[in-house]
């Protein structure tokens, strides 16, 4: 068969399948589990002490990085195979006033967002990335990972990092301190970064409680006195026994009116952010409402649902091959008849 006939036949079959299958539906974004846990990071409470980074390295057995010279202790430039949690700085003009967009500065904490509808989980061909059915925590399981790095490309937050420095490299990312051998959440402990945070800028709780707390804060009037919990918000909520730490009280800043990580941020994330500076200025991406997982799975299921398209494409090829072969055979037969 000529190449043009081959492509026509395969394309014809595919077209038939695409127009006749019609069974695939656009899937909506997923919902978090009823007792999902999460973290609220309040940028206005963060003092940039980096205690959370140090504790994260201790818990995960990771070495310091010297991205800015040997005379600095731990000074990573970004998330990496050795740094699963980083405090970054926004700075404008003379950077003199905290939590101000112009001529000010602000902190932002970056680690895995533990997405509600996680792209990394959706693309992993061997279920090495998993979302826990109870907590909603997204963990990576290196015992089954094949190192394809699909998760790296599917993450809209640029979180999973591959250990290129090792011959048998693995994916590294924040596991919410609940991976095999650590299991702080299962043991009723706080995530390490929350436990050491002196101001409550990193706060643990159930996803629904944290969302309500974030919405409460962004609705406060600037200067209004309010209580800021530390450790776990509403200890015991959702059946989690993590401790609350003594709260503190202070006047509210001028918050941005939205919560980053709401459902309209690509399906939402179990790590929520609130801040006084616009989120995009802090380096958080502006994402569409539908999660990447929902969009890509809809496309895949439309194309491959019930294997209709591959079967129809094959049928088209068989038909074209048969037509071309039969025509040739008939020609051969008549030639043979003339010779005898
Ligand atoms: S932030 Fe990235 S690595 Fe973390 S759950 Fe979401 S998609 Fe996965
Ligand atoms: S939850 Fe644990 S692994 Fe994640 S950033 Fe905090 S300390 Fe690090
Ligand atoms: S420990 Fe808390 S205050 Fe200190 S840098 Fe981390 S989030 Fe900010």
- Rounded to 5 degrees, φ, ψ at 159 are -95, -55
| pLDDT surpasses 60 at 297 | yes
Q: Is the CB of 199 under 6 A from ligand 3?
A: yes
Helix (H) or strand (E) holding 329: helix 308-339
Distance 23 CA to ligand 1 centre (A): 30
Structure token digits, residue 106: 């602000």
| Digit-coded pLDDT (tens) for 159-205 | 999 999 999 999 999 999 999 999 999 999 999 999 999 999 999 99
Q: Which ligand is nearest to the CA of 196?
A: 3
| Digit-coded pLDDT (tens) for 109-120 | 999 999 999 999
Question: Could you give the CA distance from residue 24 to residue 167 in angstroms, rounded to a whole number?
Answer: 42
Residue having the nearest C-alpha atom to atom 4 of ligand 1: 112
| Digit-coded pLDDT (tens) for 31-59 | 999 999 999 999 999 999 999 999 999 99
Q: Can you give the pLDDT at residue 72?
A: 86
Q: Can you give the pLDDT at residue 295?
A: 83
- Rounded to 5 degrees, φ, ψ at 183 are 45, 45
Q: How confident is the model at residue 292 (pLDDT cuts 50, 70, 90)?
A: confident
Distance 127 CA to ligand 1 centre (A): 14
- Rounded to 5 degrees, φ, ψ at 338 are -65, -35
Mean pLDDT value across the chain: 88
Q: Is the CB of 161 under 6 A from ligand 1?
A: no
Write down the H helix ranges in 61-98.
none
Distance 310 CA to ligand 3 centre (A): 52
Full DSSP string of 171-240: EE---TT-STTT-TTTTTPPPHHHHH-SSSSEEEEEHHHHHHHHHHHHTSPTT-EEEEEEEBSSTTGGG-
Residue having the nearest C-alpha atom to atom 3 of ligand 2: 174
Task: Please state whether 266 falls in left (phi above 0), alpha (psi between -120 and 50) or beta.
Answer: left
């Amino acid at each position: 068969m000529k190449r043009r006939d081959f492509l026509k036949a395969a394309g014809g079959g595919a077209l038939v399948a695409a127009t006749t299958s019609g069974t695939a539906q656009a899937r909506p974004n997923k919902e978090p589990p009823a007792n999902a846990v999460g973290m609220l990071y309040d940028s206005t409470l963060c003092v940039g002490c980096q205690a959370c980074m140090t504790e994260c390295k201790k818990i995960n057995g990771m070495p310091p990085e010297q991205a800015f010279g040997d005379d600095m202790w731990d000074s990573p430039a970004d998330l990496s195979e050795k740094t699963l949690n980083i405090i970054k700085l926004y700075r404008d003009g003379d950077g003199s006033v905290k939590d101000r967009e112009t001529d000010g500065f602000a902190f932002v904490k970056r680690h895995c967002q533990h997405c509600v509808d996680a792209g990394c989980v959706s693309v992993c061909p061997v279920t090495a990335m998993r979302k826990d059915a109870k907590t909603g925590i997204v963990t990576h399981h290196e015992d089954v990972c094949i190192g394809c790095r699909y998760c790296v490309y599917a993450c809209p937050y640029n979180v999973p990092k591959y250990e290129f420095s090792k011959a048998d490299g693995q994916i590294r990312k924040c596991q919410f301190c609940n991976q095999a051998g650590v299991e702080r959440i299962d043991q009723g402990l706080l995530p390490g970064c929350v436990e050491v945070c002196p101001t409550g800028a990193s706060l643990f709780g159930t996803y629904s409680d944290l969302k309500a707390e974030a919405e409460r804060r962004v609705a406060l009037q600037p200067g209004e006195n309010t209580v800021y919990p530390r450790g776990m918000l509403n200890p015991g909520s959702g059946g989690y026994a993590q401790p609350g730490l003594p709260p503190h009280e202070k006047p509210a800043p001028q918050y941005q009116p939205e919560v980053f990580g709401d459902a309209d941020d690509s399906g939402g994330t179990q790590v929520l952010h609130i801040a006084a500076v616009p989120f995009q200025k802090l380096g958080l991406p502006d994402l569409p409402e539908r999660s990447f997982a929902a969009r890509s799975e809809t496309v895949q299921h439309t194309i491959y649902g019930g294997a209709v398209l591959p079967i129809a494409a094959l049928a088209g090829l068989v038909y074209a091959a048969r037509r071309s072969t039969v025509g040739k055979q008939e020609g051969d037969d008549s030639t043979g008849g003339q010779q005898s």
